[in-house]
Amino acid sequence: MLLLLKGIYLLGKKLHEMAMEELLDEDKVRADLKELYLLLESGKISEEEFELREEKLVERLEEIELYKNK
């Protein structure tokens, strides 16, 4: 029983680490921004759509920076 609990704890800890790593991945957000600019330049999205999505990505970058500088 103790081994089962320890296994569950370690699994939860690993999942938390993986989730935080993904949430704090600045490179992914920057790549999303780059792709967004390409979509705008190619005319695949409107200025309005671009601005909405860009704002969310920039906010996400700012949140990552704030979290990392705690």
- Alpha-carbon distance of 32 to 45, in angstroms, equals 14
Residue 43 has a pLDDT of 97
**What are the residues whose beta carbons fall under 8 Å from the beta carbon of 44, sequence distance 6 or more?**
none
Residue 70 has a pLDDT of 80
Residue 2 has a pLDDT of 87
Domain extent listing, the chain: 24-70
- The residue with tokens 């601005």 is 51
The 10s digit of each residue's pLDDT in 10-56 is 999 999 999 888 888 999 999 999 999 999 999 999 999 999 999 99
Nearest to 54 by CA among 35, 41, 67, 68: 35
| pLDDT-based confidence at residue 64 (cuts at 50, 70, 90) | very high
